[in-house]
Amino acid sequence: MRLAVLPGDDIGPEITEAALTVLDAVDRAFSLGLEYDVHEVGMKAHKRCGTTLPDAALRAVREVDGIVLGPAGMTAYPPASDGGINIPGTIRKQLDLYANVRPARARRGVPNARAGLDCLIVRENTEGFYADRNLYQGHGEFMPTPDVAMSIRLITAKSSRRIAERAFLAAASRRKDVTVVGKRHVLRITDGLFMREVQTAAALHPGIKVREIDIDAMAAELYTRPQAFDVILTTNMFGDIFSNLANALAGSLGLAAALNVGDHHAAANAGHGSAPDIAGKGIANPSGIILSSALLLDWLGQRHGKKAYQQAARAIEQAIDVVLSDSKTTTCDLGGTLSTSAFAACVSKAITTCAHTS
C-alpha cells in the first residue's frame, strides 16, 4: 500500500517522522508492504514554489491508498491569493473527507486523565461554521459596513445524514450509545435539520440508544461524567472544540488522534495544531499522529480485507498504552523527559517485543 506523507509546519515534520518510525516497525512486524510518497507542504513549500500546497502533493493524495498529514501552521500563512492554501481544508473538500473521527480515552498511568473516559467524537467535516471553506465559491463571512460582520453556518440534509450514518455504524461496534450535541433551541433551523437527519438515521439502527444534549450542558457533563459517553455526534466546529476538550481530559492534546474519512479516501491527521510554541525543540508528543496512523491502517484493513493491517493498528494502540503507562517513557507534556524521537523508538520497541512474544 502506498501512503502520501505531508509533514506540514512547526512540529509537523518532527511528529510525522516519529509516525513513520512506528509505521516502519509495524510494516516489519506484520509484513504490510508500506511505501511512502513524501511531499513538502506548508511554509517551506511556499518559500520554494509560492504555494503551501503544491499541485504535486494534491495529485499524490488522490492517487495513493492513504494519507498521513502533519499539522499545518495556518495562522502564519499569507492570504490564499498569495499562495497560503489551507492544506487540511482543501484536502478534505477535494477528497470529500466528510467525517472526522476522533477518539479520546483515559489510558493507564497518564497523569490527570479522567477515569472512565472512552469516547469517539464523530464530527461533520465539510460545512458548519467553517466560513473559509463552507461555500462552493466565495467566502462565508462578510462585512456589509465597517461595523457589521456576519458569518454563514452551512448545514445540509445530505451531509447531516451521512455523518449520522457513520456515527451509528461506529456505535454498533462500540457501546451502542450515541449522544448528539448541538444547540437546537437557538440554532432552530440549522440544528433542527441536522437533528431531523440524525433521527432518520437512528430509525435504521433501533439497537442503538440516542439522546440529544446542548453543547454547553455537554461541556460540563463530559468533565463530570466522562464514563457516560460513547459516540458523540456533532457538527463541524462544535466537534473541533469538543475533541480538544476530550483530549485534554485524556491527559494531553498531544494524544489527540483523528481520521478524516470519506467513501474512498482517508487521511490520518492529529487532532491538535502545529504547536509553534514548541516547534524545533524535539519535545512534542507524537502520540496523536501515531494513533491517527493506526486509525488509517485499520481503515485500510477494513476497506481491502487485510487482517494484518487491523492487527498492526491494534499493536500500535497497545504499544502506546504500554509506553504511556511508565512515567519514565513519556514526553514533557505528560511530565516525562523523552524526546519526540526517543518516544517513537520506545513505541517501536514495544511493537517489536509484542510481535515476537505473541
List interacting residues with ligand ATP (CB under 6 A). 15, 253-254, 272-275, 277-278, 284-285, 288, 333
Phi and psi at 162, nearest 5°, equal -75, -30
Which CB, 66 or 70, lies closer to ligand ATP? 70
Q: How far is the CB of 319 from ligand ATP (least distance, A)?
A: 17
CA-wise closest residue to 34 among 288, 298, 265, 309: 309
Q: How far is the CB of 332 from ligand ATP (least distance, A)?
A: 8
Q: How far is the CB of 69 from ligand ATP (least distance, A)?
A: 13
CA-wise closest residue to 290 among 271, 309, 306, 274: 271
Q: How far is the CB of 121 from ligand ATP (least distance, A)?
A: 14
Which CB, 46 or 205, lies closer to ligand ATP? 46
Q: How far is the CB of 123 from ligand ATP (least distance, A)?
A: 13
Q: How far is the CB of 88 from ligand ATP (least distance, A)?
A: 9
| SS3 state of residue 35 | strand
Q: Are 247 and 285 in contact (CB under 8 A)?
A: no
User: What residue number has its CB nearest to ligand ATP?
Assistant: 273
Which CB, 63 or 277, lies closer to ligand ATP? 277
> ∠ CA(344), CA(116), CA(182), 5° rounding?
100
Q: How far is the CB of 40 from ligand ATP (least distance, A)?
A: 19
Which CB, 285 or 293, lies closer to ligand ATP? 285
Q: Using CA atoms, how far apart are residues 77 and 55, in angstroms rounded to an integer?
A: 17
Which CB, 73 or 226, lies closer to ligand ATP? 73
Which CB, 213 or 257, lies closer to ligand ATP? 257
Which CB, 64 or 68, lies closer to ligand ATP? 68
Which residue is listed with cell 510481535?
Answer: 355
Contacts of residue 111, defined as CB under 8 A and 6 or more positions apart, other chains included, come to 251, 327, 334, 335
- Single-letter amino acid code for the residue at 353: T
CA-wise closest residue to 156 among 118, 194, 195, 123: 194
Cell of 28: 516489519
Cell of 212: 440529544
